[in-house]
Amino acid sequence: MTKRIPLALVGVGKIARDQHIPSIAGGADFELAAAVSRHGKVDGVDNFENFDAFLTARPDVKVVSLCTPPEVRFDMAKKAIAAGRDVLMEKPPATTLGEAEALSALAAEAGVTLFATWHSRFALGVEPARLWLSDKTIKTVSIVWKEDVRRWHPGQAWIWEPGGFGVFDPGINALSILTAVVPGPILVERSTLEFPENKKQPIAASIAMRTVDGAPVSAEFDWRQEGPQTWDITIETDQGLLRLSKGGSELYIGDALHTAGPDREYAGIYERFGALIRARESDTDYQPLRLVADSFLCGERKVVASFED
C-alpha cells in the first residue's frame, strides 16, 4: 500500500467533522496530521490556532484542505501556495472570481496542485447523467433546490454577511451539477433575489438561464423550506426525460430508477485530490461561481420579511 500523504485540515467546523474527517480517515491517500482552527480541535493530531504558525511548525505537511468560510480562504491559499503546499478548497472556492483566478495563476507559477472542489459533482448519479446526455439534444432544464437553513447551517452567521453567498451556498451545488452534465456554457439572462430586510445576502433566488444552444434553464433556490427537502434537476431531451434527485444521489431515466446508492461525495473529492497530486495537475473549474456572480449582476433585488435563524 502506498504511504499516506500527511494533510492539514484548516477550519474545524460542522462540514469538516461531518464529511472531511471521516472521508480522509476512510480513504487510502491521506493521513490527517494537523488541524488549524480558532475554535475547534481534532484529537490525536497537532492543533494550531494560527495558520502561519502551522506553516512554520510543520514544513513536512505538504497538503492542506481549506474548509474555512470563503471570505478568509484567499489569504490562506495564497500563503500555502507560496510555501509549496498542495491545496484543496471547499466550495465555493473563493469570494470572487478575481480571487479564484488569481489563485489558479499563483498555483501554476509555483507548480503546486490546486483543487477547487464541487462535492455535488461526485454524487452517484452525476457522471452517469453526463454520459447519458452526451448524445442528446437538451430541450429544457429545471432546477428546484429548496432546503431549511436552520437545519443545515445552524448558528452560522457568516453566510448572511457580504461574501457569505446566502442561499447560493447550497444553490451553487445545483449549479455545479448543471455545469458538469450539460455540455457548453450556461448563460444567465435575469434573476430575482429575495433579501430579508435584516440580512445582507439572499434567502431565495429565481434565475432564468439558457444553454449556448438556446435551451431554457430555470432555477429556484429557497432557504425557507421546512419538512422534506428538495434537491432536484429535471432535464427534458429529444430522447426522453432525465431527473437527478436528492442532490444527485438518485438518477431517473424516464420513470425508472437508473442509479442510486450511499453518499460518497467527499470520498470522491479526496480520491480525485490524490490523483491530481500524483499527476502534479490542478483542477480549477469556476463555472458555478461565475453563474452566481452573473445572477447578482443580472439580479433584481426584492426585500422580503425579516428572517431569524
Indicate if the pLDDT at residue 60 is higher than 50: yes
Q: How far apart are CA 104 and CA 94, in angstroms?
A: 11
Considering the domain architecture, whether residues 125 and 212 belong to the same structural domain is answered as: yes
Considering the domain architecture, whether residues 193 and 298 belong to the same structural domain is answered as: yes
> Phi, psi (5° rounding) for residue 32?
-70, 115
**pLDDT (average), residues 48-61:** 97
Indicate if the pLDDT at residue 35 is higher than 70: yes
Considering the domain architecture, whether residues 212 and 162 belong to the same structural domain is answered as: yes
What confidence tens digit (pLDDT) does each residue in 82-133 have? 999 999 999 999 999 999 999 999 999 999 999 999 999 999 999 999 999 9
**What Rg, from alpha-carbon coordinates, does the chain have?**
19
pLDDT classification of 45: cutoffs 50, 70, 90: very high
Considering the domain architecture, whether residues 104 and 152 belong to the same structural domain is answered as: no
Is residue 280 a part of any domain in this protein?
Answer: no
Q: How many residues does the chain have?
A: 309
Considering the domain architecture, whether residues 82 and 154 belong to the same structural domain is answered as: no
Is residue 239 a part of any domain in this protein?
Answer: yes
The three grid cell numbers given for residue 18, joined into one nine-digit string = 461531518
Q: How far apart are CA 20 and CA 97, in angstroms?
A: 25
Q: What percent of the chain has pLDDT over 90?
A: 94
Considering the domain architecture, whether residues 100 and 164 belong to the same structural domain is answered as: no
pLDDT classification of 261: cutoffs 50, 70, 90: confident
Is residue 183 a part of any domain in this protein?
Answer: yes
Is residue 53 a part of any domain in this protein?
Answer: yes
Considering the domain architecture, whether residues 68 and 143 belong to the same structural domain is answered as: no
Is residue 287 a part of any domain in this protein?
Answer: no
- Maximum distance among all Cα pairs of the chain, rounded to whole angstroms: 58
Q: What is the reported pLDDT for 146?
A: 98
What confidence tens digit (pLDDT) does each residue in 239-249 have? 999 999 999 99
Looking at the structure of the chain, the number of domains it has is 2
Please confirm, yes or no, whether 246 is among the known catalytic residues: no
Residue where one domain finishes, among candidates 74, 101, 116: 116
Q: What is the reported pLDDT for 262?
A: 85
Considering the domain architecture, whether residues 52 and 181 belong to the same structural domain is answered as: no
Q: What is the reported pLDDT for 2?
A: 67
pLDDT classification of 43: cutoffs 50, 70, 90: very high
Task: Please tell me the least confidently modeled range out of 28-32, 82-86, 155-159, 170-174.
Answer: 155-159
Task: Please tell me the least confidently modeled range out of 103-112, 155-164, 170-179.
Answer: 155-164
Which CATH number does the domain housing residue 187 bear?
A: 3.30.360.10
Average pLDDT of the chain to the nearest whole number: 96
Is residue 278 a part of any domain in this protein?
Answer: no
Q: What is the DSSP letter of 19?
A: I
Distances (CA, A) of 136 to 46, 130, 139, 287: 51, 10, 9, 22
Is residue 285 a part of any domain in this protein?
Answer: no
**DSSP H/E element including 52:** helix 51-57
Q: What is the reported pLDDT for 276?
A: 98
Neighbours of 137 (CB within 10 A): 11
Considering the domain architecture, whether residues 148 and 250 belong to the same structural domain is answered as: yes
Considering the domain architecture, whether residues 171 and 298 belong to the same structural domain is answered as: yes
Torsion (CA) 21, 26, 29, 35 in degrees, nearest 10 = 20
Considering the domain architecture, whether residues 185 and 150 belong to the same structural domain is answered as: yes
Bridge-based pairing of strands 204-211 and 186-196 is: antiparallel
Is residue 144 a part of any domain in this protein?
Answer: yes
Q: What is the DSSP letter of 239?
A: T
Residue where one domain finishes, among candidates 94, 116, 138: 116
On whether the CB atoms of residues 295 and 205 are closer than 8 A, the answer is yes
Residue where one domain finishes, among candidates 59, 84, 116: 116
Q: What is the reported pLDDT for 1?
A: 40
On whether the CB atoms of residues 246 and 144 are closer than 8 A, the answer is no
Indicate if the pLDDT at residue 277 is higher than 90: yes
Which CATH number does the domain housing residue 26 bear?
A: 3.40.50.720
pLDDT classification of 309: cutoffs 50, 70, 90: confident
Domain that holds residue 229: 120-260+293-304
Distances (CA, A) of 25 to 35, 65, 172: 14, 14, 27
pLDDT classification of 263: cutoffs 50, 70, 90: confident
Catalytic residue among 62, 91, 146, 199: 91
Closest CA relative to residue 159, chosen from 246, 109, 223: 223
Considering the domain architecture, whether residues 170 and 82 belong to the same structural domain is answered as: no
